[in-house]
Amino acid sequence: MYRADFCVAGTFRDFFLFRKTVMLRALLLLIVGTMVLFEILRQLSFLPLYPFPLLGSPSLANVAGGILFGIGMVTAGGCVVGTLYKMGGGSVISATAFIGLIAGSGIYAEIHPWWSGIVKEFTFFKGHLTLPQAIGCSPALILIPLILVSVFFFMRWQKQNKWHLTSYVEGYIQPWRAALYLALLGTLSYLLVGMPFGITTAYAKAAAYLTKLVAPAHVAQTAFYKAVPLDYSAPIIHVQLLGGAGPVVDAITYIQFPLIVGIILGAMIAALRLGEFKVYDRVPARQYVSALAGGVILALGSRMTPGCNIWHLFGGLPILNMQSLLFLAGLVPGSYIGSKILVHVVLSAGAKATP
Amino acid sequence: MKNNQPANIIVHDIRGQICPSCLLYTLREINRQKAAFKEGNTRIIIKTDNRDATTTIPDAVSSMGYECLVEKKKGYYELVIVPHRKKTIH
């Protein structure tokens, strides 16, 4: 991700600000590539958990979460994963957003009971998780036409040479190649762990541990920290896995924390090897405020949806999960609003020029 | 005798800043310096640690009719925007 600069926040932001579409094409390739791999595995009965755990019935609240998520990821300068790999590369702005992400997760824990009521109130197609389930047809019936149309466009873009980006940086990985790597990794995760990549419950768990240091009794009584949403039998090892945001070592600790540490360390190693790791902190104060506030909004969006862009775009959309479709419906306008805030508020003052 | 050294060199140090500061500030500066660029005695130097900017800036400025030279420095990249076409450093 570091070497390709595979930034999902930048993908949407740069489309709205500069009409740059090359990363949107790469993102579509990632989604459709994952769709193909998931469907092949499903047809071969390699996915006993289909749809995968932690998904819920669709609710209009997913759209609201997506809007907040879009605003947050653009103003924070990266999504929940982009923040990690940029921080690994030495970005102080992303480290600030990381603090905001943990703080925002802690704030959400306090409003969780109120928000849960809203989610329930606006839930529809109760018990149906994916679009094929809601329509009552086989997933292949919708997925195959979607894949065929996408492949048509992919080949057209290939003819128009629209996949390749000219880059002058060392060790650059073309975004289309990074998209295919990420599709393969996500599929591997589904196959081995029983679900694709997710990361944000770990942020909430970190918030729980920190809050516990100052208010242990409060954490013990907080409904959000007491809940155990992850409860499933893992494939291959056939062990019951339980996990939640509470400050205890559970399946979330084993599944999501290594991913967070791995992304930060992986990016740090890549940056060090390329001689690019350097910490610059002389950044306008307005940008620190944006990163911190963006991180908080991003965390609130991810908890309120629930789920992040990696979970929904890289995992949920390929199986046409309805929460993911609604999240995307919110993410697009949210990113637009975030882009406008970034240009007109955060970056309205020019950088200092030294003639 | 004509002096090859530009009289006006504008340096923007955008290292560590939030994305997409580099591209935004570059485009704003180019627009500000349009007249000076026409005279051919101005160049803009952008210091950035954002890898993506080394792709987006050359792409954007070349579509505006300018040339961008990219050079890797110690821990960052330096982008030099000149009003006339020169060979790009790889």
Q: Between A169, A279, A280, which is nearest B77 by CB? A: A169
CA atoms within 13 A on the CB side of A64: 13
> How far apart are alpha carbons B65 and B31 in whole angstroms?
12
Strand B67-72 with A230-233, pairing: unpaired
**Any idea what the Cα angle at residue A79 is, between residues A78 and A80, rounded to 5°?**
125
φ/ψ of A198, rounded to 5, equals -145, 155
ipTM: 0.84
> How far apart are alpha carbons B74 and A51 in whole angstroms?
48
The distance of B48 to chain A (nearest Cα, Å) reads 10
| A9 and A74 Cβ atoms separated by less than 8 Å | yes
Q: What is the 3-state secondary structure (H, E, C) of A25-93?
A: HHHHHHHHHHHHHHHHHHHCCCCCCCCCCCCCCCECHHHHHHHHHHHHHHHHCCCCCHHHHHHHCCEHH
Strand B67-72 with B77-82, pairing: antiparallel
Residue A171 has a pLDDT of: 85
A284: preceding bond cis by omega (within 30 degrees): no
Condensed to tens digits (0 to 9), the pLDDT of residues A321-355 reads: 999 999 999 999 999 999 999 999 999 865 544 44
Please judge whether A168 and B11 are an interchain contact, meaning their C-beta atoms are less than 8 angstroms apart. no
Alpha helices (H) in chain B, listed in sequence order: 21-32, 34-39, 53-63
Six token digits for residue A346: 């955060």
Q: Which long-range contacts (CB under 8 A, 24 or more apart) does A93-97 make?
A: A93/A283, A93/A287, A93/A288, A93/A291, A93/B16, A93/B17, A93/B18, A94/A291, A96/A288, A96/A291, A96/A292, A96/A295, A97/A291, A97/A292, A97/A294, A97/A295, A97/A298
On whether any CB of chain A is under 8 Å from the CB of B39, the answer is no
On whether any CB of chain B is under 8 Å from the CB of A18, the answer is yes
Q: Which of residues 74-133 of A touch B (CB under 8 A)?
A: 77-78, 90-93
Question: Domain residues of chain B, as ranges?
Answer: 14-74
Q: Which residue of B has its CA nearest to A91?
A: B16
- Residue A155 CB burial class (10 angstroms; 0-12, 13-18, ≥19): exposed
Chain B residues closer than 8 Å to A18 by CB: 20, 23, 56, 60
The distance of A280 to chain B (nearest Cα, Å) reads 5
> How far apart are alpha carbons A200 and A180 in whole angstroms?
23
The confidence band for B6, taking pLDDT boundaries of 50, 70 and 90, is low
Residue B4 has a pLDDT of: 58
Question: Domain residues of chain A, as ranges?
Answer: 8-344
Residue B1 has a pLDDT of: 41
Q: Between A167, A276, A282, which is nearest B16 by CB? A: A282
Please judge whether B52 and A7 are an interchain contact, meaning their C-beta atoms are less than 8 angstroms apart. yes
The confidence band for A313, taking pLDDT boundaries of 50, 70 and 90, is very high
The distance of A80 to chain B (nearest Cα, Å) reads 15
Listed in sequence order, the residues at least 6 apart from A275 whose beta carbon sits closer than 8 Å to its beta carbon are A170, B74, B75
Rounded alpha-carbon distances, angstroms, from residue A216 to A200, A211, A285: 22, 7, 34
Condensed to tens digits (0 to 9), the pLDDT of residues A251-260 reads: 999 999 999 9
Of the residues B25, B48, B51, the best mutation for testing chain A's interface (the one with the most A CB atoms within 10 Å of its CB) is B51
Six token digits for residue A283: 């950044």
Residue A187 has a pLDDT of: 97
Whole-number percent of chain A with pLDDT over 70 = 98
Chain B residues closer than 8 Å to A2 by CB: 51
- Residue A159 CB burial class (10 angstroms; 0-12, 13-18, ≥19): exposed
| A66 and A330 Cβ atoms separated by less than 8 Å | yes
> How far apart are alpha carbons A176 and A135 in whole angstroms?
32
- DSSP 3-state of B47: strand
Whole-number percent of chain A with pLDDT over 90 = 90
Please judge whether A351 and B74 are an interchain contact, meaning their C-beta atoms are less than 8 angstroms apart. no
- Indicate whether B85 pLDDT > 50: yes
Of the residues B14, B18, B25, B52, the best mutation for testing chain A's interface (the one with the most A CB atoms within 10 Å of its CB) is B18
Q: Which residue of A has its CA nearest to B21?
A: A347
Condensed to tens digits (0 to 9), the pLDDT of residues B9-54 reads: 899 999 999 999 999 999 999 988 888 887 878 899 999 999 889 9
| A122 and A60 Cβ atoms separated by less than 8 Å | yes
pTM > 0.90: yes
